[in-house]
């Protein structure tokens, strides 16, 4: 398949992609893709770099969050002795 024929571009583990330095490869690949495509970006965390990447890659994005940032698990208790 040629990159010009891609209809759906999915990037999973986007936060890990940045940690491992793949962002440069993604930035080289994206201009080779058709502008009329569906792009999906998945990330367990949403640091500023991921937000910037999303703004760069996505058009009219929808953000889904399972839990608000910095929430703790329900059954975790903190104690100081």
Quick one: which of 48, 29, 47, 49 has its CA closest to 39? 29
> Rounded to whole angstroms, how far apart are CA atoms 40 and 59?
10
User: In which domain, by residue range, is 53 found?
Assistant: 3-57
pLDDT digits (tens, 9 = 90+) for 9-49: 998 888 887 778 888 888 888 899 999 999 888 887 778 88
Q: Report if residue 15 sits inside a domain.
A: yes
Count of structural domains within the chain: 1
- Which tokens hold the place of 36? 């009329």
Q: Report if residue 8 sits inside a domain.
A: yes
pTM: 0.66
Q: Report if residue 39 sits inside a domain.
A: yes
DSSP state of 9: E
Q: How far is CA 75 from CA 70, 78, 81, in A?
A: 15, 10, 19
pLDDT digits (tens, 9 = 90+) for 54-79: 888 888 888 887 766 666 667 777 78
Quick one: which of 71, 18, 70, 27 has its CA closest to 48? 18
Q: Report if residue 68 sits inside a domain.
A: no
């Amino acid at each position: 398949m040629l990159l010009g024929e891609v209809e759906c571009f999915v990037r999973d583990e986007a936060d890990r992609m940045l940690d491992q330095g793949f962002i440069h490869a993604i930035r080289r690949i994206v201009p080779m893709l058709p502008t009329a495509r569906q792009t999906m970006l998945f990330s367990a965390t949403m640091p500023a770099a991921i937000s910037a990447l999303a703004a760069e890659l996505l058009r009219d994005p929808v953000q889904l969050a399972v839990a608000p940032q910095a929430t703790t698990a329900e059954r975790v208790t903190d104690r100081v002795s």
